[in-house]
Amino acid sequence: MVVAFVNRKSEKKVLSSEVTNYILPNSGNLACREIKAPLIYVNGDSYKVDKGSITIPVNESSIELEIDDKIFVIHVLCRRYANELKFDYNAFGAAFKNNLIQGKMDEKILFEAFETDDDNLKIPLCTFNRKFDSITKNYDVEAISKCTDKLPHIFNKPKQHLKQVNDVRPAAVVSRIGQEAIRHLASHSEHWKGIKASGLIPERLLARTLEDDCAIYENLATKTMVDKLYHEMKMLNEENIDCYMQMNVDDGHAVSGEQKIYFHARDILLKGMDDEAVAFNQLLLEEQQKYIFEILEKLGKCRSTSLYRTLKKAKPVHGKLKKTNIFMMDKYYKYVYELWNLLENRQKVAPYDTAQDIKGEYALFCKTLFIFALRYFQFRSEDQPGDVFVDDKLGNINYSFDRWNLVMENAWIEGLDIDGFATQMSIKSSIKIKCSPINISPELTAKYFGVKLVDDTLLFDRVLDNKEQENFIKRVKTGWPKNKQKNWTSELKQKLYTAFANVDIKYEKALFVPWKYLLPDNTEDIKETLRQIKAKVDLAKYDKVYLLIASRPNEFSNVEDGKVLSSLLSYGKANAAIERKKDNVGVIPIGLNDINSYRRYTKILLEQMIALDAERKTCPICGDMLNLGRGDQKNIATCHTCGFQIINTKCSHCGQDYTFTRYILPKSTTMANVANAGFKIIAEEHKFGFKNITDVFLEDGNIHPLCPHCGK
**pLDDT range class, residue 645, cuts 50, 70, 90:** very high
CA of 95: how far to CAs of 90, 92, 108, 116, 410, in Å?
9, 5, 16, 11, 21
3 state SS of 213: strand
Q: Which residues contact 266 (CB under 8 A, 6 or more apart)?
A: 249, 251, 252, 273, 278
Q: What are 391's strand-pairing partners?
A: none
Q: Per-residue pLDDT averaged across 206-220, rounded?
A: 76
- Alpha-carbon distance 708 to 137, whole Å? 44
Q: In this structure, are residues 556 and 521 in contact, taking their beta carbons and an 8 Å threshold?
A: yes
Helix runs in 396-538, H state only: 442-445, 466-476, 482-501, 523-535
- Alpha-carbon distance 545 to 535, whole Å? 12
pLDDT at res. 208: 67
Comparing C-alpha atoms, which of 249, 238, 276 is closest to residue 131?
238
Buried b (16+ CB within 10 A) or exposed e, 435-470: beebebeeebbeebbbbebeeeebebbbbbeeebbe
How many residues does the structure list for the chain? 712
pLDDT at res. 252: 45
Given a cut of 90, whether residue 214 has pLDDT beyond it is: no
- The per-residue pLDDT for range 483-541, each reduced to its tens digit, is 888 888 888 888 888 888 777 778 899 999 999 899 998 899 999 999 999 988 988 88
- Alpha-carbon distance 393 to 374, whole Å? 18
The 10 Å Cβ neighbour count of residue 6 is 16
3 state SS of 653: coil
Q: Using the 8-state DSSP alphabet, how is residue 650 labeled?
A: E
Q: What are 204's strand-pairing partners?
A: 170
Q: Which residues contact 414 (CB under 8 A, 6 or more apart)?
A: 8, 9
- The per-residue pLDDT for range 305-340, each reduced to its tens digit, is 998 998 888 899 988 899 999 889 989 999 999 999
Amino acid at 674: V
3 state SS of 658: strand
Given a cut of 80, whether residue 260 has pLDDT beyond it is: no
Given a cut of 70, whether residue 148 has pLDDT beyond it is: yes
Q: In this structure, are residues 395 and 388 in contact, taking their beta carbons and an 8 Å threshold?
A: yes
- Alpha-carbon distance 80 to 82, whole Å? 7
